[in-house]
Structure 1
Amino acid sequence: MDVDIARIQTLTRTLDQKAADNSVANKLLEKCGLSRPEVEALNSGISAKTEALFTRYACDALGDPTFAAQAGLAFKSSSSLTAYVSKYSRDLKQVLENAARYHGLIDPALRFSLRVAGNFATIEAEWKDASYARFHRRTEFLMFAGLSRLRDLTQIDFYPIEMCFQHEVGGNKAQYQKLAGFPVSFGTERLEIILALSTLDLPVPTYDPKLRQHLLEYGDRVMADRRQPKQKLRAQVEGLITRSLPGAILQAEEAAANLGLSTRTFARRLKHEGTSYREIVDDLRCDLAQTFITNGMNLTEIAYSLGYADQPAFSTAFKRWTGQAPSTFRSRLDPPPQG
């Protein structure tokens, strides 16, 4: 499914500014099978996975894991249906209710909901396709971009009580805190933004009830006509494994049972998709290991998170996947000394 082109446009512009040379972004776009003209075309679209990979590559190229969050805070405009409905909503509460209602039209991976309890409100994000949970930088971009959009709509730079992420970022927590200017927590149970209850009453200056009603009716028709794409078995398996972490990796029999399949049917369907359970586990572990190293987690933590008995076992596996030791991979990520 294609996602809002405005997001990668923001990522590309921000990368151009940070790198002081658009050749960096051009190379990364090419690596993702894109070109600058395609990204700048208003009517084009890109897949959610391509967006996720570009975000990751940009952070790695700059040697700055917080780049995605920085780009998110620079995100303002969007031409999606959700954006237009939000623009003509009465207040922030109505914006969030509408976003929860139609967000499935613009992102295949996440769903949002608004929860009000006591003296605070929570914008809670939940994975529809948990295979995307591995893309930590994209998750950070989306959460900070969501905050930026809400600020832009109300024309008020309000601050959340807290923003929470389920993944860890090792020793980089202070950088996110400094960038945000409010508490940012990692390794939490939920992916969410916690707001003061009064924030929901912030008015939207562009409120237009007639336009909003027209767009709501149109949005409902689009939702009714839209068919949900069927997830491949591999994506469902990746989601199961991701949700089971940190700790022991699910056995194939457990994964099959979770999906209501016999072990034999499970293996046969994966083979039909050109893969196997062992291959999926290895690919996911390899991908997450590189992300965890980039996040600044130590090797013992990573070994535990990925279900290995000890660090040597993890290091052996990492070298088998990548041809290099984890310490070598980490040293190549370090930015060159300034001078």
Structure 2
Amino acid sequence: MKGMLEWRLVVAIPELCIVGGSNCLLSQGWVRQLKAVNQEAFEIRNLSIGAATSLIGIYRILNGEIPNGSIVIWEYAINEANHHKSGQSAETLFYYLDWFLELCALRDISVLPLLFWNLDEQLSNKPSQYRREINRRFASRGLEPIDFGPKLKEFAGEKKQDVKALYRDRAHYKLGTGFPRRIALQVFGNLRAARIPQRLTSFAGRELRLLRPEVLETGRFKNSILDAGIYDFSAPIRIRAKGKLLAGFVIAAKTGGAVDVFVDEHNIGAFSVQSPPSVQQPDRLLKHLVFWSNGVAPIEVEREIDISRSRSEEKPIVQNLFSWHAAEGSGEQDALVAILIES
């Protein structure tokens, strides 16, 4: 009817956030394939970062990048298995995973876990402690992951291919084999299986916080997957805090140096914030430092955390996927993003 107002029904499109590692970032990988089969059923946001673990998922949530009530695809297993192989304890990896799931539960975020395997694991008959326990961890929270370890073997059998032919290298699935699309179809078909994780009674009354210095940022780090305020290490950094020191988020750089970390004036160590010189990696990228290990409780902070450029001539602590080439480290491009505290 002329003059009658027209009403349009606007239906919100569910938001689907992907948090994982470099297999989620390949130009024609499974995420691109998922977007192709999605047909606008979901708004897809890819928040993945190479070499990351559940700690980066925690950062994304606490930084407000994953909306309450959304669906999250978790894909850190292959990276966490690599971190475990390189010396990080399963205890710390699972503690961060439990916290990630707890944060999702508190925000009504549904989770669908994907378990990718690196080539060495795929060919081995001796699963690591991390692999032996990861499925049970998710099941204890009411989640059912999609395990692509056995699914890759099934796919190889169907195509009459060697398992090795489905890998580009030891940590990445090969493109053009059809397996990335198989992943995408499997994920899309299982999205209804995403669930809000069950709470852990042991976490009742606890809180995770991102803490930053009470000064102006010295700059911003921005690329296609991250936009964060940063505090460079050219001057000492002080953060007032009280609680358990769990981790630090830093911008590592190929020309980075090392920093001393003090808790209540006690030096807990010098840590490299230098990324490997590989040409396949960007010059600067977000990484995490872990400040506790298996069998040792997280450090309690009573007043403050101080971080300053290390002047020591001794080799710093070099955690997995960091590097140390002292002669190359100018320290001009590395920076702090935030500290993770449990209180």
Q: Same fold (TM over 0.5)?
A: no
In terms of fraction of residues, the more strand-rich structure is 2
In terms of fraction of residues, the more helix-rich structure is 1
Q: Normalization by structure 2: what TM-score?
A: 0.25
Q: Normalization by structure 1: what TM-score?
A: 0.25
